[in-house]
Chains A and B, each alone.
Chain A
């Protein structure tokens, strides 16, 4: 019997599928997988073949345009320019005020997004509704799960499959203009009290159910994520009492804070860092009674038209040298230890960006149920139309 050609292969078919399963389960690293299967070598050899996988041919496959959905003041515009210079793909940026709005657009279909930035608590719902792809991590070689902080990244993995990789983490705290507000604000209880007194007509809440309802709940001593009708009723009562005293209900609060139209607002870490950098009188504090800690992810919609470009941009953003520029520009803390090493000391020592661990203890991650709970959605809509 002559020797069958497969016996000369570096690995048998059965062994290959075993190794693949081990890789999927996460019991071996991708490096081990590529090494033992010979696929790494094969890719390396093929990559040198002109016209096969080399960069010019690859760039041609990416098309000339792609679209990303993300948050306000969240990227360094230079990043997208550099990406376009490297690949020829122009990036159209869409910004949103809430995860609910992103979900609504994806549910309705026809978004045209090739990459988007959902927050931790939404990913399981996107998976359940079949709106996002499991990521093909072989197309994101610059991502390294082993250098990520698991606490911020675990919600990107559903049933052992990676659907999203982390962008950065952060908190939702209180930004206040200390030149205007003299009383100390250290909790969400203080926030709502001062919004009705010293900062009457000058405080802002987000146009976003998770944080506006969540922080109202926290100020009353309940969980940030509560969906209990009696607790929500108490929060609604508080919000409707506060509403006539508010300056605005809007998630894009930077312009109002900078113009000193507003003196105090619910505020995400990155906005707090940006405001404080430009106007030192604007301080950023975390509620000692609680609030939100979050991480944002990159995911690829199932409906993406240009997935190749989506993966290319994702891989570009996962490169520590590129990611570090984003973090310096937007002021949000990183989940990746490789990026952390590259950050300048004035960023890593900034207490707004990297607060003491103790101040994070009372904070809660948003829970998936708040995204779809009709009680919270309807409460927010009633509060706004009251």
Chain B
């Protein structure tokens, strides 16, 4: 290989990478650096930021322990609830559904995204409010049921809003599944249940892990659903951030919380990826 082709190849690579790199630099790395600088500063007397070097903001983090705790509990629970509902749907779409209608059925999963999550969550406010389901329940004698502004309502909103994001990766991994493996498993005498747990489920685990990581990470930054369905009482770390920037105008403390949240997300992502790779890797070795 000549030096000239080498240079040309490098130039092409650089040209291909440049737009994405510039995008990430301007909209991810630089804002993150600004946030990091703010996190060590102080709140100006009228709010905002003034330069300083202090760890006070990080020392103050325990005052938001409840919000961190709510988020770290409800995000994985929400992701698991999504998974429990999404898996059968994805399985049906990928394995059982008539291939002729598969495309239509898969697009039906995506259709809700055509309407803003805000509007769809507002609809839940009315369904769960006094004149919705509780009203129907009172007709059959079950009185005074409170649904809106409870952790359960937030969980329901989360599952509803994020379900498609879980169905898609699981569906993709199940669709790639080699049917001959299922036939082989049956030929060797495995019952359908053991085929599912021995073959189908392990092979779809990368998709499951992708879905769980995707939904969990998005939920860690969720703001809208707890605000609307939790009535400002079920408080996520995203809501704490909004308050700090828009109400108390404490930019440094808000930045410190945001930096901490990013650190948490990175850890969650790394653990999830490690598990996913390990599972996928071992299975490949087994099959060869």
Contacts and interface: CB of A to CB of B under 8 A. Distances in A.
A104 B46 contact: no
B247 interface: yes
B249 to A, nearest CB: 5
Given A261-B129, A384-B239, A107 B248 contact: no
A247 B233 CA distance: 8
Interface in A231-281: 243, 246-250, 255-256, 259-261
B247 A98 contact: yes
Contact of A382 (B63, B125, B232): B63
B245 interface: yes
B240 interface: yes
Contacts of B247: 98, 100-101, 104, 207, 209, 377, 380-381
Nearest to B60: A378
Contacts of A103: 47, 249
B19 interface: no
A385 B64 contact: yes
A112 interface: no
Contact of A374 (B126, B146, B232, B248): B248
B260 interface: no
Interface string A172-199: 0000000000000000000000000000
A247 B149 contact: yes
A316 B244 CA distance: 36
Contacts of B143: none
B48 interface: yes
Interface in B234-288: 235, 239-240, 243-250
Contacts of A386: 66, 235
Contact of B129 (A243, A259, A384, A385): A259
A372 B45 contact: yes
A226 interface: no
Contacts of A129: 46
B148 interface: yes
A128 B47 CA distance: 13
A243 B240 contact: no
Contacts of B48: 107
A40 interface: no
Interface string A343-386: 00000000000000000000000000000101001101110111
Contacts, number: 90
Contact of A250 (B46, B232, B243, B248): B232
A246 B230 CA distance: 11
Contacts of B149: 247-248
Interface core residue of A104, A105, A125, A207 (most chain B CB under 10 Å): A104
A201 interface: yes
Contacts of B185: none
Nearest to B65: A385
A374 B250 contact: yes
Given A248-B231, A250-B232, A261 B246 contact: no
Contact of B250 (A255, A260, A378, A385): A378
Contact of B248 (A100, A201, A255, A256): A100
Interface in A114-134: 125, 128-129
Given A377-B249, A385-B66, A128 B231 contact: no
Interface string B137-151: 000000000101100
Interface string A317-351: 00000000000000000000000000000000000
Contacts of B129: 256, 259, 261
B130 interface: yes
B244 A381 contact: yes
A364 B247 CA distance: 22
Interface in B191-247: 231-233, 235, 239-240, 243-247
Contacts of A105: 246
A374 B43 contact: yes
Contacts of A201: 146
Contacts of A247: 149, 231
Given A104-B47, A247-B231, A260-B130, A385 B246 contact: no
Interface string B116-146: 0000000001100111000000000000001
A247 B130 CA distance: 12
B67 interface: yes
Given A103-B47, A107-B47, A250-B232, A385 B243 contact: yes
Contacts of B146: 201
Contacts of B126: 259
Contacts of A98: 247
Given A104-B246, A385-B64, A249 B130 contact: no
A255 to B, nearest CB: 8
Contacts of B64: 385
Question: 6 closest Cβ contacts across the A-B interface?
Answer: A248-B231, A377-B248, A249-B232, A385-B67, A261-B130, A100-B247
Given A243-B233, A261-B129, 15 more contacts: A103-B47, A104-B47, A107-B47, A128-B46, A129-B46, A247-B231, A250-B232, A261-B130, A261-B148, A372-B47, A380-B248, A382-B63, A384-B232, A384-B240, A385-B235
24 contacts: A100-B246, A100-B247, A100-B249, A101-B247, A104-B249, A105-B246, A107-B48, A125-B46, A209-B248, A243-B233, A247-B149, A260-B130, A261-B130, A374-B43, A377-B249, A380-B243, A381-B240, A381-B243, A381-B250, A382-B63, A384-B232, A385-B63, A385-B235, A385-B239
